[in-house]
Amino acid sequence: MEVAGKVVLITGASSGIGMASARLFAQKGAKLALAARSVEKLEQFARELPEAIAVPTDMRDEAAVRRMVAQTQEHYKRIDVLINNAGQAMYAPIEKVDIDTYRSVFELNVVSVLVAMQAAIPIMRAQGGGVIINISSGTSKRPPERYGTNNPVGPYTSTKYALNAITLIGRQELATDNISLGVVYPGLTATNLFDNLAQGRAPAATPGGAPPVASAESVAENILEAVETQAAEVYADILKKELFSSSTNRA
């Protein structure tokens, strides 16, 4: 899909990967709807872009997520692309994870995405098609033995496994409606993710030293690739190098 002139709704758009994606899609000529909780920051950012509206939304509020989609459709009369980027990390072992916190993270990382998709799919079907891109995590693609007591990502990664399944199975369900679902896997990215953890501390460095970190702008390029190619899965460049070079070395 060429994004020029298309209506693109991006969640988590007030910082990090979401903000970088909004800038990139604006440069490509897209019309944007930007969703996040931070009202003033979001509205200021929308004013900086050629054609964008701010849609302040608490993604953990089901009714608010449905209003977000409805407001975008009401303003632009269509929605061509939905990018579900909003999410939150946590680092806690399975034994000690706080259940209420886990529930909250699951609501944001999985349930809010499902609600947004349910609201957008009928709109896309009626207009003849669309693209939905869900932003996962490289933790869901690394082998489990990479993790342990120094980097306890089990509860967080489980939310991304669920997101992957919803996306890839949903892709099959909606193929005949010309609605393409895809998942993007970022690696470690230079955002404020570790400043806003739901529980725990940033993961410990690996024995080989600090891992390479990608820019939010490079991940935005991968998201654009996912929209343009409508591929089922797109790996951030930094993660692709890590996973596939390791596989080659092991072979």
pLDDT digits (tens, 9 = 90+) for 142-200: 888 877 767 789 999 999 999 999 999 999 999 999 999 999 999 877 665 545 655 65
3-class DSSP state for residue 12?
A: coil
Cα 229 from Cα 16, distance rounded (Å): 23
Q: What is the structure's pLDDT at 249?
A: 41
Q: For the ranges 74-78, 92-96, 163-167, 235-239, which has the lowest average pLDDT?
A: 235-239
* Domains of the chain from N-terminus onward: 7-250 (3.40.50.720)
Identify the sign of the CA torsion 173, 107, 11, 203.
Answer: negative
Q: Which residue bears the tokens 């600090």?
A: 210
Segments of 141-228 assigned E as strands: 179-185
**Cβ(100)–Cβ(208) below 8 Å:** no
Tokens at residue 30, please? Answer: 């897209």
The residue annotated as part of the active site, out of 156, 161, 185, 235, is 156
Segment 83-142, tens digit of pLDDT = 999 999 998 999 999 999 999 999 999 999 999 999 999 999 999 999 999 999 999 998
Phi, psi of 190 (to 5 degrees): -80, 80
Tokens at residue 100, please? Answer: 């209420």
Count Cβ atoms below 10 Å from residue 12 Cβ, excluding itself. 26
Residues in CB range of 114: below 8 A, 6 or more apart:
166
Is 156 one of the catalytic residues? yes
Q: What is the structure's pLDDT at 250?
A: 39
